[in-house]
Chain A
Amino acid sequence: MGPVITAWSAISSCGVGSAAFEAGLVRPSPLDDESPGAKAFLASDFVVREALGTKGTGSMDRSSALAVGVVGELLPAVDVDARTGVVLGTTSGSSQTQLEFTRDSLTRRKPYFVNPASMPFALMNSAAGQAAIWHKLTGPNTTIAGGRMSGLSVLRYGARLLATGRSSGVVCGAVEEYSPTRAWLEHHRGATTVLGEGAAVVFLEPAGTARPPLAEVLGVATRVAVDGGAAGALAACLCRVLERAGAEAEDVRTVAVSAQEGELADAERTALARLRASVVDPAEVIGDVGAATGPFQVVTLLRSPGLAVATALDPDGTVGCVLLRVLS
């Protein structure tokens, strides 16, 4: 048996924790900042100082706080040892923190009048590092800048850590903040989706531990669509995971999609055309959560027993999917 998912948690516009996500209340918030959009799915119930306290959160940015928070929600359900790892995906870290740091350097009386305490938060590995520091997780701690491929990347990387014995169990997930800077960057990239803020993690471990598995990870396949054919490349990934699992396309009961608009959504639809699965799209509930899309697809699929697929496509040309066997 392959690695299994035995626990999960999430923070999103639905609220904090798995129960809030299951309740699935759809509620985008109106924005009154300088963002290009009028609304976003904000994780308003997650108030950093209420959730984590005031000690150690003074300089902490929202991305890292979301990571600390969501891992804290997950850990009571699992066993932790010295080899428990954390593998988180991101697009570019906190673009807001990076912008503010650079703005201070550009606008203050001296270019070095910056807040040194905010520097480590500007680095992409801050969320994973902070989660480990806060919760004392000393195993492998890795950040993968996978963009929209993050969900698949962290599962595959986490499974490799388990296969090589480097980790006993891995917290796999991703974080995406909402911020005006992210909104403007997405705007300039041509996105018109309603952005969301969220963090979701699953606990990946070898089968046969004390916890009953929620799902088995049967396989991850990704390709780079070097010739521009994203649909064909994604279809090839789908074939590969099914073939390796000895399954047929018609066996897939649920598919969670990731692309909301444009060429990538067209490619995703084309690649999935031969499946007769029911389709779920977490973005309808929590908005476009960027790098966190994949982990949210996975936790959404945990509701639907049977074979399930989550697909991913990134504008950088990478596509792929994961095949899960969700247990009832």
Chain B
Amino acid sequence: MQFGVFSVGDVTEDPTTGVTPTEGERIKAMVAIALKAEEVGLDVFAQGEHHNPPFVPSSPTTQLGFIAAQTSKIILSTSTTLITTNDPVKIAEDYAMLQHLADGRVDLMMGRGNTGPVYPWFGQDIRNGIALAVENYALLRRLWREDVVDWEGKFRTPLQGFTATPRPLDGVPPFVWHGSIRSPEIAEQAAYYGDGFFHNNIFWPISHTKQMIELYRRRFEHYGHGAADQAIVGVGGQVFMRKNSQDAVREFRPYFDNAPVYGHGPSLEDFTRETPLTVGSPQEVIERTLSFREHFGDYQRQLFLMDHAGLPLKTVLEQLDILGEEVVPVLRKEFAALKPAHVPDAPTHASLKAAAERARQLETIDEPAVVAEPTAEESTR
């Protein structure tokens, strides 16, 4: 199972000090968080993409490329890449480029973006959100898989004899997760292609997350990619930890009370009861996170939101130390012990490359074979 962090990239005042980082400080803080994530043994760093203040990460591949140069193991991902308002041609090129620079340590999570005003800035309309996600992703897949593409659709100018450069590393497109909080169409899309499905699992009760994941698993099986329990599922989580539970609650409360999205609303106690937010000791975080499996089945990727709501970098790095030293090693062991052998790990570049090579060999020996997603033993992490 993969463990990691995902960052929204908000620039928010620290409510306890009144200090707001500059954009530059926040961007560098995100880099420091990514490097720390690798240092403490996490598997994934994912970052959001936004085109409006108070968020800084408008250009994820620039930032992830910079991080790639300073890391060697961690997988770089997105949370999310805006499949609705970005040109799929540019996504295909940017992330193939990043793949080469990062030696394959790249995957993506597609999302639609829920900020209405962003769409018209990029010539789109939020009411077409689903249709854009469907059409743009269908094109993106072809751009990565076919060397020369002729294409015509509703939302972008047609392509004639177009080749996206560079071609994906080793001819293997990055693995794709589809993220959605509440749209069954996106779970359906992920299932149709046999891609991964990610639920951010932060702002909503666990019953909603469960409903989306169950739909994805059922349809994954329906489309013939494997059994429902072999579908590739990722979920988010949000934690704040101190050795003593009460200290964690006391320290985190002002950040919670003033947080973007849910601040000035429900109490910390209400929110931790209603959603997967866990504020307490490392042991409490371990127990809560292990309980996700009872709702979602054996899953492949767990990301935590650690750096938001104005938490200072120093605190976030301390949190990552606790996560990497005390929480993730236990979770890794416990989840692995529970996972049946037929449930695959999340695909990586290495496992996808091996699967593609095997498919090519089968093709030369036998009739053309359908490329299957990698099985458990092919996935390395």
Bind each other:
no
Q: Which A residues have a C-beta under 8 Å from some C-beta of B?
A: none
The interface of chain B, by Cβ under 8 A from chain A, is none
